[in-house]
């Protein structure tokens, strides 16, 4: 072989070596971070051994890694919210939303850090840091009370908020699952017609029924369409063109002012209010309350579903006035509407993660905020009086608490797929609210019969725990 041929062969090897180095550098420095971020990356599973904890507001562990396995002490009661970590199926819930904080710092794309790890390993020292702890707003006692009440039913959901700040104190969805056995039972969960993987508290959409009269009353009062002295006549039905609208079970509330119509939950009267508002004002108010818009929350949350305004005829608008028709809402959004009245007309921005703690030091804190101010403090005070009347002398007397003024609203939401959904929303103490609750139990009938007693029990626990 001539010298020229040897030189050419050597040059070829040099070029190939340079290409190999360039390719490896590209993988490490450019593509490495995105590859590392993929939940199915085997390196991610190794990092999970040092994954940070998810904690309740008092430091109670909601998720932690023990002997290389992720453990969930609250099991099914917080499964959809806390989520799961699976090398096979990825992540969900807070495990997914805060994966970057929970996962230890990855040295992918950082040659200097990788070299430091190698040096530390050779010298017998550990350079491996743990992921941050995610501290939530969950209050264990309230969470247990909510779960214990809801889990007695086949399907439902609930949310407990601090209306002053928007902090989620408890949240539950049934049916649920055991996240400790997730890999083993995934196929069963995925095929389950009851959809236990869905978080009904944030993603379940239901006709809100009469709980939505809070919106209608507040908006109509704010717009000056009605006053507290406006009176309505309810003979049990309302003729709207060729369409006849009826109250539930043939009821008729007769002649009532707005508070009476609200307390006795007259569908006919609130249909009249919606028609007096008109579609343009009604939809303007929906936007003002943020209904139908994406919800600013730290976890995925379905926005309320509102039919297009150009499809609305008078009969549909009348039904929307009392939470029926094509209108759909989640328990979280109904909790926020309730909290708006409790919070003097300001809708708090909901949050469930309070802070991130890294290496024993607080790395970040979630600021409180306001999503909207759809009604004035004066209007909120008037709606509050109506909600107090519901519990004292109206449809919500099953939510009374001794020594506490409760403001609430029942809802019995008809749907085309079976028995009505049972709703109840409330806040307490009405004079200085520190708890707001929304409960829905699917296909359970009257709100006063099923949802209201659940809310009462949870409220009793919550008021004992959450102080001024």
For residue 52, the surrounding DSSP H or E stretch is: none
pLDDT at 117: 44
Alpha helices in 181-330 (DSSP H): 182-191, 200-203, 213-223, 258-263, 267-288, 314-320
Q: Are 152 and 439 in contact (CB under 8 A)?
A: no
**How many whole angstroms separate alpha carbon 147 and alpha carbon 171?**
8
454: Cβ contacts below 8 Å, ≥ 6 apart: 149, 150, 158, 424, 439, 441
Q: Reading across the β-sheet that carries 54-55, which strands appear in turn? A: 69-71, 61-66, 54-55, 133-136, 353-358, 361-365
Q: Are 214 and 337 in contact (CB under 8 A)?
A: yes
Give mean pLDDT in consecutive 10-residue pieces for the chain, a chain of 468 residues.
Answer: 66 70 59 55 59 97 95 98 95 96 67 45 55 97 98 98 98 98 95 96 97 98 97 91 82 91 95 97 98 96 96 95 96 98 98 95 94 98 98 97 97 90 98 98 96 98 92
Q: Which CATH number fits domain 140-465: 2.70.98.30, 3.40.309.10, 3.40.710.10, 3.40.50.720?
A: 3.40.710.10
**How many whole angstroms separate alpha carbon 460 and alpha carbon 468?**
15
235: Cβ contacts below 8 Å, ≥ 6 apart: 252, 254, 268
CATH fold, domain 42-131, is Penicillin-binding protein 2a (Domain 2) (3.90.1310)
Report the alpha-carbon angle 439-441-446, nearest 5.
95
Q: Are 99 and 91 in contact (CB under 8 A)?
A: yes
Q: Is the peptide bond before 331 cis (omega within 30 degrees of 0)?
A: no
Q: What is the DSSP string of 434-465?
A: -EEEEEEETT---TTTTHHHHHHHHHHHHHHH
**How many whole angstroms separate alpha carbon 90 and alpha carbon 95?**
10
**How many whole angstroms separate alpha carbon 130 and alpha carbon 152?**
39
* Alpha-carbon Rg for the chain in angstroms: 27
pLDDT at 248: 78
The backbone torsions φ and ψ at residue 184, rounded to the nearest 5 degrees and listed phi first, read: -70, -35
SS (H, E, C) 313-382: CHHHHHHHCCCCCCCEECHHHHHHHHHHHHCCCCEECCECEEEEEECCEEEEECCCCEEECCCCHHHHHH
Judging by DSSP bridges, how do beta strands 133-136 and 54-55 pair with one another?
A: parallel
Could you count the other beta carbons within 10 Å of the beta carbon of residue 242? 6
The backbone torsions φ and ψ at residue 434, rounded to the nearest 5 degrees and listed phi first, read: -130, 0
Report the alpha-carbon angle 83-349-258, nearest 5.
115
**How many whole angstroms separate alpha carbon 362 and alpha carbon 374?**
34
Q: How far is CA 11 from CA 6, 15, 22, 466, in A?
A: 9, 6, 16, 75
Q: Considering the entire predicted model, what is its pTM?
A: 0.87
Tell me if 42-131 shares its fold with 140-465.
no
Q: Are 301 and 203 in contact (CB under 8 A)?
A: yes
pLDDT at 127: 46
pLDDT at 50: 87
Residue ranges per structural domain of the chain: 1-32, 42-131, 140-465
Q: Are 212 and 323 in contact (CB under 8 A)?
A: yes
pLDDT at 24: 60
Report which DSSP code applies to 49. Answer: T
Greatest distance between any 2 Cα atoms in the chain: 112
Task: Give, to the nearest 10 degrees, the angle between helix 377-393 and helix 331-342.
Answer: 110
277: Cβ contacts below 8 Å, ≥ 6 apart: 216, 219, 220, 223, 225, 285, 321
Report the alpha-carbon angle 147-152-154, nearest 5.
105
pLDDT at 35: 55
């Amino acid at each position: 072989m001539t010298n020229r041929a040897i030189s050419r062969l050597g040059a070829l090897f040099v070029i190939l070596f340079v290409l190999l180095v360039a390719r490896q550098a590209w993988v490490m420095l450019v593509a490495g971070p995105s590859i590392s971020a993929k939940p199915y990356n085997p390196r991610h599973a190794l990092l999970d051994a040092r994954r940070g904890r998810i904690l309740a507001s008092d430091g109670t562990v909601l998720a932690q890694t023990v002997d290389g396995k992720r453990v969930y002490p609250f099991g099914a009661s917080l499964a959809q919210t806390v989520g799961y970590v699976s090398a096979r199926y990825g992540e969900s819930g807070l495990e997914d939303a805060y994966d970057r904080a929970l996962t230890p710092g990855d040295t992918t794309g950082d040659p200097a850090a990788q070299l430091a790890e190698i040096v530390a390993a050779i010298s017998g020292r550990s350079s491996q840091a743990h992921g941050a702890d995610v501290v939530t707003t969950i209050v264990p006692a309230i969470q247990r009370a909510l779960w214990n009440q809801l889990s007695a039913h086949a399907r439902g959901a609930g949310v407990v908020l601090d209306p002053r700040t928007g902090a989620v104190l408890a949240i539950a969805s049934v049916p649920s699952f055991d996240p400790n056995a997730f890999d083993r039972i995934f196929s069963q969960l995925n095929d389950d017609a009851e959809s236990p993987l869905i978080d009904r508290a944030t993603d379940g959409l239901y006709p809100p029924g009469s709980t939505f009269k809070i919106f209608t009353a507040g908006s109509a009062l704010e717009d000056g369409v009605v006053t507290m002295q406006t009176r309505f006549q309810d003979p049990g039905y309302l003729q709207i063109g060729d369409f006849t609208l009826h109250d539930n079970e043939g009821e008729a509330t007769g002649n009532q002012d707005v508070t009476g119509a609200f307390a006795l939950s007259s569908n006919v009267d609130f249909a009249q209010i919606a028609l007096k508002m008109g579609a343009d004002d009604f939809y303007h108010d929906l936007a003002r309350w943020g209904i139908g818009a994406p919800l600013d929350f730290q976890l995925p949350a379905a926005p309320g579903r509102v039919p297009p305004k150009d499809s609305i005829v008078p009969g549909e608008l009348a039904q929307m006035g009392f939470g029926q028709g094509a209108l759909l809402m989640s328990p979280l959004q109904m909790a926020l509407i309730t909290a708006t009245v409790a919070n003097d007309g300001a809708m708090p921005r909901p949050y469930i993660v309070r802070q991130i703690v890294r290496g024993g030091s607080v790395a970040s804190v979630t600021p409180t905020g306001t999503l909207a101010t759809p009604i004035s403090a004066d209007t909120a005070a008037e709606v509050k009086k109506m909600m107090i009347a519901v519990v004292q002398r109206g449809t919500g007397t099953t939510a009374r608490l001794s020594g506490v003024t409760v403001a609430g609203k029942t809802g019995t939401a008809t749907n085309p797929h079976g028995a009505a959904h049972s709703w109840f929303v409330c806040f307490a103490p009405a004079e200085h609210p520190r708890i707001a609750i929304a409960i829905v139990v699917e296909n359970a009938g009257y709100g006063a019969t099923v949802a209201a007693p659940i809310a009462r029990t949870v409220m009793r626990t919550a008021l004992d725990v959450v102080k001024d």
